[in-house]
Chain A
Amino acid sequence: MTGSFAAGGPPDTGAPPDRPGAGDGGYSAADEAMARAAAAGWSPDAIQIEHRSTWQDVWQRFRRDKFAVVGAVLILLLIAMAVFAPWIAPHDPTMQYEDGITMQGQPVGPSAKFLLGTDPLGRDLLSRIIYGARVSLVIGVLANGFALVLGVVFGLAAGYFRGGTETFLMRATDVMMAFPIYLFAIALVSVLKPSIWILILVIGIVYWTPMTRVIHGEVLSIREKEFVDAARLTGCSNARVLFRHILPHLVAVVIVYTSLGIATTILFESTLSYIGLGVQPPTPSWGQMISEGQSYYLSAPHLVIYPGLAIMITVLAFNLVGDGLRDAFDPQQRRR
């Protein structure tokens, strides 16, 4: 997601140039005859039009928000960490080292060989945290993407078609939201053997509701705009009105909610893994690492502290970016 912004960025020129004067069109035409004359007088090369798209505007505003940029950099680092884990990690995350455990069977603390110490099975904690980023990011992005697709489809349908469709979908959303989501997820996972894919499915099913509500509300206000009437009047089909005219106006809201939602999703995965229903050993996951380390929290606090920090930094980064995007997409902030 952040990639598209970087790609859409304009060649940087520092301060944003003033918008070109908009007075070169119809103003000059006092009546039709004059308009024609003016039209005839225009030469194609005479007017250089500096064009700035919505995306460029958003990028301009986003990059001025220091916290958001820090968040974006953190996310890029996390992604790099996940992708290049085999090269970055000093050890094999599943390897149980004999010198990673004391004679009393206790995990060892940070040392030159094990930078962040080892876990109770003698595995290198740093390597496990680095590999754990894979699980967190994959689940964060995919589960959220799944929730997003459901939310957008249901929200669009409910908001645009109204009537029975709307009543059914929105009441179903209410029912889902009234459900205790952790209980629901726990029930689902225990029925369907836990794995990463089941986890993604379950988180998606649990988290589509807020997105549906937000999209539904947005669509309700957009569909009353005159340009939607105009589109229908030009002969656009429902599908074209929905995807060409309404959906583009939801992009901002979707991006913002997704970036905030990823943080929630990562936390949710950690929670499920913590109670043993998430990612199954030996695959490392941050929540599961905290869960395994908690009984050693007095003798080896690093087992809880470092995975906890990893979760915190990741969630914080996504929240910072989400906040930054929300501000950047707000046209009221244009002149900030």
Chain B
Amino acid sequence: MSAVAVTPAGCAGEDNGGDGDALVTVDDLAVHFPITSGIVLRHTVGAVRAVDGVSLTVKRGETLGLVGESGCGKSTTGRAILQLIRPTRGRVLYEGTDLAHLRGRALRRQRRRMQMIFQDPYASLNSRMTVGDIVGEPLLVHRLRDRAGRHERVRELLQTVGINPNTQNRYPHEFSGGQRQRIGIARALAVEPNFIVCDEPISALDVSIRAQIINLLQALQREFGLTYLFIAHDLSVVRHISDRVAVMYLGRVVELAANAGLYGEPLHPYTQALLSAVPIPDPEAEERRRAVVLQGDVPSPADPPPGCHFHTRCPAMRKGLCDREDPALREARPGHSVACHLVTESDYPRIRAGEDDLAEVAG
């Protein structure tokens, strides 16, 4: 594991280009799930475009937050990056190696470098294996230690995540949700990875334990120089832990910026609506807060609208442009990329116009 200077939160993302410090580069990633019909003669009648052209880079040592509402494809993106789901299209470069084309043994070797922390700590641990076997399995599979060495390393790992190392012979059902999540983290750390996808690691946990797990993740990042892709739907958590944030809507990244940029000046109308829905922990400010309520539902990913995926619900939609042409994700401000036709160099569509009624803005 190389020593890495960790960028403090909020200061990263000044330069967006320069592949020199990119650890993971995702290029036009798409995951389509076929919709089939027929029992004997099965044929494909369509596809759910869970992820439809995602491009992003995760820089060495940073935490990239990935937010969006349920079903927008953020988890699928994380899984496709790790090749748990094979992408339909696109490339995933890890230090220059395209993972999407690796198979079998070569892929398994690469997996030493990247791990995942799962959402549901009750489903992600094999209930028939002891904690020691669970955490030690990666070492065994990659033949990293002998038996005694494994035992020692498992103790060390459990201690690192704050689990009593004497509980090695116990089974997962004997632990609480937070403890199970710690065990999952220990398993991910076993192979000394550089890159960890955290797939909503705290969503399934009790509110009182969430902070502990977040703090543990941050401490581990400092200690081991880890790079995180942090998937969540909780904007305040993402703001707390991330250096940069990517916002997804219906299978695409609509905005990607440093923490300060995104939360300070959200350019994309969807991001603005999303942020306006975050409660403010101050009664007076909360009183004045006006949430933008978007009309309608998220369109089906099996049949996404043409042009900008958001145009069906966008208060600032411009006919003839937004419903025709796909907006590309481009750098509109330094280090601040957005996929919206209406963002210009000096201006952007403001849909949260003070106390004004939404209808006025839209009209």
Given contacts A25-B164, A35-B216, whether A229 and B141 have CB atoms under 8 Å apart is no
Given contacts A26-B179, A234-B111, A237-B108, whether A226 and B215 have CB atoms under 8 Å apart is no
Stretch at the interface among B15-23, B120-128, B255-263, B308-316: B120-128
Picked from A23, A26, A231, A249, the residue with its CB within 8 Å of the CB of B163 is A26
Bound complex: CA A42 to CA B163 (Å): 10
B175 located at the interface, meaning its Cβ lies under 8 Å from any Cβ of chain A in the complex: yes
Bound complex: CA A167 to CA B43 (Å): 13
B335 located at the interface, meaning its Cβ lies under 8 Å from any Cβ of chain A in the complex: no
Picked from A25, A51, A167, A225, the residue with its CB within 8 Å of the CB of B175 is A25
Judge whether A226 and B179 touch: CB under 8 Å: no
Bound complex: CA A35 to CA B42 (Å): 54
Bound complex: CA A226 to CA B119 (Å): 9
Stretch at the interface among B92-100, B166-174, B227-235, B339-347: B166-174
Judge whether B137 and A236 touch: CB under 8 Å: yes
Size class of the B contact interface (CB-based, 8 Å): 35 or more
Picked from B127, B142, B209, the residue with its CB within 8 Å of the CB of A235 is B142
Picked from B124, B141, B211, the residue with its CB within 8 Å of the CB of A226 is B124
A49 located at the interface, meaning its Cβ lies under 8 Å from any Cβ of chain B in the complex: yes
Given contacts A25-B167, A39-B159, whether A233 and B111 have CB atoms under 8 Å apart is yes
A24 located at the interface, meaning its Cβ lies under 8 Å from any Cβ of chain B in the complex: yes
A115 located at the interface, meaning its Cβ lies under 8 Å from any Cβ of chain B in the complex: no
Residues of A near B218 (CB, < 8 A) are 32
Judge whether B178 and A26 touch: CB under 8 Å: yes
Residues of A near B124 (CB, < 8 A) are 225-227, 229-230
A115 to chain B, nearest CB (A): 49
| Residue-wise interface mask of A (240-251) relative to B, using a CB-CB cutoff of 8 A (1 in contact, 0 not) | 100011001100
Residues of A near B211 (CB, < 8 A) are 31
A104 to chain B, nearest CB (A): 64
Judge whether A229 and B162 touch: CB under 8 Å: no
A77 located at the interface, meaning its Cβ lies under 8 Å from any Cβ of chain B in the complex: no
A112 located at the interface, meaning its Cβ lies under 8 Å from any Cβ of chain B in the complex: no
CB closest residue in chain B, given A237 = B108
Residues of B near A42 (CB, < 8 A) are 164-166
Residues of B near A231 (CB, < 8 A) are 126, 137
Picked from B138, B184, B212, the residue with its CB within 8 Å of the CB of A30 is B212
Residues of A near B219 (CB, < 8 A) are 31-32
Bound complex: CA A26 to CA B176 (Å): 9
A232 located at the interface, meaning its Cβ lies under 8 Å from any Cβ of chain B in the complex: yes
Given contacts A35-B216, A49-B167, A51-B169, whether A26 and B82 have CB atoms under 8 Å apart is no
B116 located at the interface, meaning its Cβ lies under 8 Å from any Cβ of chain A in the complex: yes
Residues of A near B129 (CB, < 8 A) are 244-245, 248
Judge whether A226 and B120 touch: CB under 8 Å: yes
B34 to chain A, nearest CB (A): 12
Which A residues, 46 to 70, have Cβ-Cβ distances below 8 Å to chain B? Answer: 47, 49, 51, 53-54
A27 located at the interface, meaning its Cβ lies under 8 Å from any Cβ of chain B in the complex: yes
Bound complex: CA A198 to CA B172 (Å): 46
B49 located at the interface, meaning its Cβ lies under 8 Å from any Cβ of chain A in the complex: no
CB closest residue in chain B, given A247 = B128
Bound complex: CA A60 to CA B48 (Å): 47
Picked from B42, B118, B128, the residue with its CB within 8 Å of the CB of A248 is B128
Bound complex: CA A248 to CA B124 (Å): 15
Judge whether B187 and A51 touch: CB under 8 Å: no
Judge whether A54 and B111 touch: CB under 8 Å: no
Q: What is the interface of chain B, defined by CB distance below 8 A to chain A?
A: 40, 42, 79, 82, 84, 108-109, 111-112, 115-116, 118-120, 123-129, 137-138, 141-142, 159, 161-167, 169-171, 174-176, 178-179, 182, 184, 187, 190-191, 209, 211-212, 215-216, 218-219
- Besides the known contacts A227-B127, A234-B137, A245-B126, 18 further A-B residue pairs in the complex with CB atoms under 8 A apart: A25-B176, A27-B209, A49-B167, A51-B169, A51-B170, A53-B171, A226-B118, A226-B123, A227-B126, A229-B79, A230-B116, A230-B124, A230-B125, A233-B116, A234-B141, A234-B187, A234-B191, A245-B129
Sample (28) of A-B pairs whose CB atoms are under 8 Å apart: A22-B174, A23-B176, A24-B167, A25-B162, A26-B161, A26-B163, A26-B209, A29-B212, A32-B162, A32-B215, A32-B218, A35-B161, A36-B162, A39-B165, A51-B170, A226-B118, A226-B123, A227-B124, A229-B79, A229-B116, A229-B118, A233-B116, A234-B115, A234-B137, A235-B138, A235-B141, A244-B129, A248-B128
The 8 closest A-B pairs by CB, nearest first: A35-B162, A32-B219, A226-B124, A248-B128, A234-B138, A235-B108, A226-B123, A29-B162
